[in-house]
Amino acid sequence: MRAAVYRGKQRVEIEEVPVPEIGAGEILIRVEACGICHTDLKKIEYGLLEPPRIFGHETAGIVAAVGAGVTKYSVGDAVIAFHHIPCKKCFYCERKLYAQCGVYKRVGITAGFEAAGGGYAEYVRVMPWIVEQGVEKIPAGVSFEQASFVEPVNTCLKAVEQSKVKRGDLALVLGQGPIGLIFTMLLKARGIETIATDVMPTRRTQSLRFGSVEALHPLENDVAGAARARTQGRGADVVFVAASAPGIVEQGIRASRPGARILLFAQTSDNERIEVSGADICKDERVIMGAYSADVDLQSESARLVFTGEIPVGDLVTHSFPLTKILEGVKLATHPDEKSLKIVILPQQL
């Protein structure tokens, strides 16, 4: 089969590799769509992991084979698959910090080499613990491109739940790329007033379409002033940092009120540094928190939100590429233009 193999920093090669062999309790999925995620882009751009690997984890496709003992799924089922599932037994799982669980950190889907998601290939092998808890069937009438959003929606829903944002709060979402726009959609669905920021005018326009009450340029507009104007001078109650740029976290803190919650979502690289006043956190009693990866407890709900169209994530897809042109997709996702939002790879397309 064809696969996009990561061969080192800023190197991805289209290669012929064996179709993965499955064992008892496993399934083989023919990948129909896999979204490009910025965590994979960072791994490729900065060479964060040892090669070779096949990335891609926002995977939707068709069950092509089932191993001995598999009864929940049959050949021909349309499914999405999460690449991480926790053990539900350890210290971290007991505290619902699933992303810190040792079993969760073991990637459970591979297209070959060290398991790394594998969605940038024609077929993936799904391991038993993922088959047991991490696969959802796609209803009839839902496209594979739309279905591939279940995992990223889960990660955003987890962050929204963790933030404890509630009706009557003012939320501030910094960044309106695909992830930031998913936050905006989720907040609108909960009736929460949201201000958003982005440097691109087209993304600000989309933000207003998907639910923000204001969409501001973070460098040209007074973001803190806009937040205070809507809160009797206090500032935002909750800030979601959905982009990574110098000074973006500091801007979120300046625009927030004392006691606010600042949730970091996009700060996944060890190279990123934040410098804040200790008094802004201690004296003003703000809380800085992080949210990373998906939550198995929210899996069914994230699937429902996507499959029913309650949040219109399918509208975020602006570009799709066959596997042979994945480098074009990676380049566009790494350096987006005015028209690009979500980019999806279609491995079966020639």
Answer yes or no: do 101 and 122 share one domain.
yes
Answer yes or no: do 238 and 284 share one domain.
yes
| 297 within domain boundaries | no
Answer yes or no: do 123 and 174 share one domain.
no
Whether 241 and 262 have beta carbons less than 8 Å apart is answered as yes
pLDDT given for residue 148 in this prediction? 98
Q: Which domain holds residue 93?
A: 2-148+312-346
Residue 291 CA to residue 97 CA, distance in Å, equals 10
Over 74-133, what HEC string results?
Answer: CCCCEEEECCCCCCCCCHHHHCCCHHHCCCCCCCCEECCCECCCCCCECEEEECHHHHHH
Q: Return the closest-CA partner of residue 310 out of 153, 97, 167.
A: 153
For the chain, how many structural domains are there in total?
Answer: 2
Answer yes or no: do 179 and 202 share one domain.
yes
Dump pLDDT digits (tens) for 60-98: 999 999 999 999 999 999 999 999 999 999 999 999 999
| 298 within domain boundaries | no
Whether 35 and 306 have beta carbons less than 8 Å apart is answered as no
| 299 within domain boundaries | no
Answer yes or no: do 134 and 47 share one domain.
yes
| 137 within domain boundaries | yes
Answer yes or no: do 161 and 143 share one domain.
no
Answer yes or no: do 280 and 339 share one domain.
no
Q: Which two tokens stand for residue 282?
A: 């201690």
Task: State the CATH number of the domain containing residue 222.
Answer: 3.40.50.720
Give mean pLDDT, residues 300-305: 98
Dump pLDDT digits (tens) for 173-230: 999 999 999 999 999 999 999 999 999 999 999 999 999 999 999 999 999 999 999 9
**pLDDT at 46 > cutoff 90:** no
Answer yes or no: do 7 and 141 share one domain.
yes
Least confident of 158-172, 182-196, 218-232, 270-284: 270-284
pLDDT given for residue 1 in this prediction? 98
**pLDDT category, 245, cuts 50, 70, 90?**
very high
pLDDT, the chain, mean: 97
Answer yes or no: do 25 and 10 share one domain.
yes
